[in-house]
Structure 1
Amino acid sequence: MKQPNSIDKHIGTRIRMRRMQLGLTQEKLADALGVSFQQVQKYEKGTNRVGGSRMAEIARLLDVDVGFFYQGAPGADTSKLAGAEFSLMDEFMASREGLMIARAFVRIPNAKVRATIAASIAALSEAMEPAPLTIMAAE
């Protein structure tokens, strides 16, 4: 099976992220586009490339400029690290959990509480990473 092109995958992730931000289902977007929800799934996974006129229609339906889909795309940033970090954020915001966390987080008015939550999440993620292998010296 052919792997999706990294730009097609990025565009699909951005479509999914925006669709979810608006609370649209794949079915509703598909109906508005006149395609099956499976086709929308393929666009979002990057397995099917989105043509120019279809991308313009998706942008109109999702109330964004076409350029939105290319923001942070591989090759769009000279810094590979910044591009990878942006891509990671796109994937996070395209997930149900990411969107749920982001929406809840921005509703917390107290900056100290937000900082405590962010520090707790950072500590938890560091604790979840596998510990580096250490080679024990023979005794």
Structure 2
Amino acid sequence: MSSSIRKVIGARIRILRKRSGLSQEEVAEAINCDNATLSRYERGVNAPDGAQLVQLAALFKITPGEFLPGSADLQRQELIDLRTQLIDMIFSMDDTDEIRKILNFAISNRK
């Protein structure tokens, strides 16, 4: 499963949990995992298995398919991921000339 899919599923779990007024501990207990595992699901580090998705869907009164992202969700997540990578890369650079080259390249290739 791709990182983008995991992140979208995790964001949906987090949103539904908060809307329901449940703690991570309560949701983790409902799907038979520990709090750290649920935290990894919500951050998109890992994804719940099929049985856990069914349990989560029952808990939040939705269908399991509602956790899955559509193409627009994946494109939006990919854009967020790429922006994050670019920001991280630029912040790790100490050479102003290299940063300037990247900026000039981006400006000259704008649509």
Q: Same fold (TM over 0.5)?
A: yes
Cα deviation, residue 50, structure 1: 1.4
Aligned mate of 1:76, from 71, 74, 80: 71
Q: State the match for 1:28 in structure 2.
A: 26
When normalised by structure 1's length, the TM-score is: 0.49
**Stretches of structure 2 lacking an aligned partner (at least 5 in a row):** 81-111
Please give the alpha-carbon distance, in whole angstroms, between the structure 1 residues aligned to 2:19 and 2:45. Answer: 22
Q: For residues 18-75 of structure 1, what are the alpha-carbon distances to aligned partners after superposition, in whole Å with 9 as ceiling and x for unaligned?
A: 01000000000011112111111011111112111111111111111112112xx2x5
Q: State the match for 1:56 in structure 2.
A: 54
Would you tell me which structure has more helix in proportion to its own residues? 2
Aligned mate of 2:10, from 9, 12, 15: 12
Q: Which has the higher contact order (CA 8 A, sep 6+)?
A: 2
Aligned sequence identity (%) = 32
Q: State the match for 1:102 in structure 2.
A: none
Give 3-state SS (helix, strand or coil) of 2:22's partner.
coil
Q: For residues 71-103 of structure 1, what are the alpha-carbon distances to aligned partners after superposition, in whole Å with 9 as ceiling and x for unaligned?
A: xx2x523x98xx529x98xxxxxxxxxxxxxxx
Structure 1 outlier segments of 4+, above 2 Å: none
The alignment of Structure 1 onto Structure 2 pairs a total of residues equal to 78
Please give the alpha-carbon distance, in whole angstroms, between the structure 1 residues aligned to 2:49 and 2:32. Answer: 14
Please give the alpha-carbon distance, in whole angstroms, between the structure 2 residues aligned to 1:47 and 1:84. Answer: 18
Alignment map for 1:91-106 (pairs within 5 Å)? none
